[in-house]
Structure 1
Amino acid sequence: MRSAFDFAPYRRSTIGFDRLFDLLENSSLAASGENYPPFDLIKLDENQYRIDLAVAGFKPGEIDITAQQNQLVVTGKKGEDGKAEFVHRGIANRSFERRFGLADHIKVASADLQDGLLSIALVREIPEAMKPRKIAIGGVQPQHDAIEAKAAETADA
């Protein structure tokens, strides 16, 4: 399914942004998807987030959390309870799969199931090489002057 907006001109003039355009094109599929189980996305601070999913009735062994490249997949498969005979069944007892797109450098820190609420802690871990750093200004000869001086030495020789 294609979105109403055509990203082809942008794909031609950018390099390395393919994943971004795929996410934008496929967002309409996610918006029309199923809304079970309901969830909250909470920003705790600048680098910490938490996803709370309402998974009442599920045990820890029935839930699987998988962190793939830039994607978090939470699946739940309910085991059969063959010994109970229901007169009415109003509590959702269906399997689910919920996918969350993760930004670069977002890692799953932990997961906890308590009182029917699955809490998944997420942390943004930016590598040292990508963090901003201060560059000291020293009394060193500018690089362009050093190149000119080296060129003059080789010309004299």
Structure 2
Amino acid sequence: MSRMTPFASPLLLGFDAMEKTLERISKASDGYPPYNIERVSANPETGAPERLRITLAVAGFSEDELEVTTEENELVIRGRQSDQTERDYLYRGIASRQFQRIFVLADGIRVLGASLKNGLLSVDLIRPEPARMVKKINISVPQ
């Protein structure tokens, strides 16, 4: 018996790549590091449009150990800590492991920038208002 997916509808043509991406991301999610996604309201005084902000808790990571990239329609955030000095821990409760967190971006979403402050990495995204486009398709009559 095959399973039905939301993208199996005959009305959704060409979404098979998106389905595969969503499957891959749902399997890779382990919850580390924790993150928030918030909507930052537009500021009419400065002309700043509405933005989205992703904030990750990356305590213990320096700017050099973090990497923020976009690959196709994905925002990829990686963290790699290197333990330069050998330490003799009596108790170790702070994890120092590498991570990769992937967010799928809708078409048109752009990354404005990223900042690291107080152990929180914030990535600001902007979604430009899409231009409404109507295209007339001519109907031809075979002769």
* TM-score normalised by L of structure 2: 0.74
- In the TM superposition, what is the alpha-carbon distance from 1:82 to its structure 2 partner? 1.7
Which runs of structure 1 show a deviation greater than 4 angstroms over 4 or more consecutive aligned residues? Answer: 23-28
Aligned CA RMSD, in angstroms, stands at 2.5
Q: Of 17, 33, 47, which residue of structure 2 is paired with 1:37?
A: 33
Q: Percent of counterpart pairs with the same letter?
A: 37
CA contact (8 A) 2:51 2:125 kept: yes
How many residues align? The count is 125
Q: Structure 2: which 5+ residue stretches go unaligned?
A: 43-49, 134-143
Shift of the 99–115 alpha-carbon distance from structure 1 to 2, 3 Å rule, reads same
Q: Which residue of 2 aligns with 1:109?
A: 112
The structure having more radius of gyration, on CA atoms, is 1
Shift of the 113–4 alpha-carbon distance from structure 1 to 2, 3 Å rule, reads farther
Distance (Å, rounded) in 2 between the aligned partners of 1:24 and 1:113: 28
Q: Of 81, 84, 89, which residue of structure 2 is paired with 1:86?
A: 89
Distance (Å, rounded) in 2 between the aligned partners of 1:17 and 1:56: 37
* TM-score normalised by L of structure 1: 0.68
Distance (Å, rounded) in 1 between the aligned partners of 2:4 and 2:17: 16
Matched, 1:63 2:70: no
Q: Which amino acid aligns with 1:41?
A: I
What are the superposed Cα offsets for residues 91-129 of structure 1, whole Å, 9 maximum, x if unpaired?
111111101011110111000000000000001134xxx
Q: Which residue of 1 aligns with 2:20?
A: 22
Corresponding residue SS for 1:79: coil
- In the TM superposition, what is the alpha-carbon distance from 1:5 to its structure 2 partner? 3.1
Shift of the 74–90 alpha-carbon distance from structure 1 to 2, 3 Å rule, reads same
Q: Which amino acid aligns with 2:110?
A: K
Shift of the 22–108 alpha-carbon distance from structure 1 to 2, 3 Å rule, reads same
What are the superposed Cα offsets for residues 32-78 of structure 1, whole Å, 9 maximum, x if unpaired?
x3000000000113741000000000000000111111101101000
Q: Structure 1: which 5+ residue stretches go unaligned?
A: 134-157
